[in-house]
Every structure is written in C-alpha cells, then in structure tokens.
Structure 1
Amino acid sequence: MPTLMLSLYCKAKALFASRDRGATAAEYAMIVAAVAAAVALAVFAFGDRITALFDGACNSMTEGGGDC
C-alpha cells in the first residue's frame, strides 16, 4: 500500500513540475515584452537627442582631423 501511494505522489509531483516550466516560460516572455516596450518608448522619447549627441561627437572627431 505505501508503494502505491508513493508512486501516485511521484507521478502527481512530476505532472505539476512540468506545468510549472510552461508558466515560467510565459513569465519570461512577458518580461521580455515589457523590456522591449520600454526600449521602444525610450527610443521614441529620446531619439532626436541621442542622434544630436552622436552627430556632435562625430563632428568633433572630424574637426580634429579624424574620420567618423
């Protein structure tokens, strides 16, 4: 009798463990989507400033005799 109970317990535990992995993958996908949305928002909000910053740095290099 204890062997049967142990067997059922192990099978149930394995079933729930495999379901947990799928939930973890879904949670990681949601985190990746949130980070991608934050990056896209930052690019739209600060894109012109970042472009101006890099253009200024490039111009400083070319004025000093360098090449971008």
Structure 2
Amino acid sequence: MIIPYTDLNEETLNNLIEQFVLREGTEYGAEDVSLPEKVLQVKQQLKSREAVIVYSELHESVNILPAAQFSDKS
C-alpha cells in the first residue's frame, strides 16, 4: 500500500528518509554527500513522485521505492 508522504508529519518523514538513506548505503560518486543533502534529495523524489513510500502488511514494514518499480498490489 502506498502511503502519501504528505500523510506523515515532518519529523516522522525525516526519520523515515534518514533510516532509508543510512540503510541503503548508496554510492554518490567521488563527492561526499551529507546526510541532510541525501534526505533532501529523497524528499524531492517523493514530491516529484519519482519515489513512493510503501507499507507492506505482510512484512509489517515501510520502505521507499522507485515509483517505476512499484505496483500497488499489496
């Protein structure tokens, strides 16, 4: 199930994004990107609908996924 990012309060959204960024260990190239910058980038992807917040009832978990890779069948 997709959870609209606008349904979360700002603190919860930031904590979710921080947890996602730290868990993913994404490579950002030769330059180091700060945690606040990474959070901002993910937040922009949520706003532009490039990414979505997904809740899995089966796994009782929340994740952020690329919108193109997700179909709302949960």
Shorter-chain TM-score category?
under 0.3
TM-score, with structure 1 as normaliser: 0.28
Which structure is higher in strand share?
2
TM-score, with structure 2 as normaliser: 0.26
The structure having more radius of gyration, on CA atoms, is 1
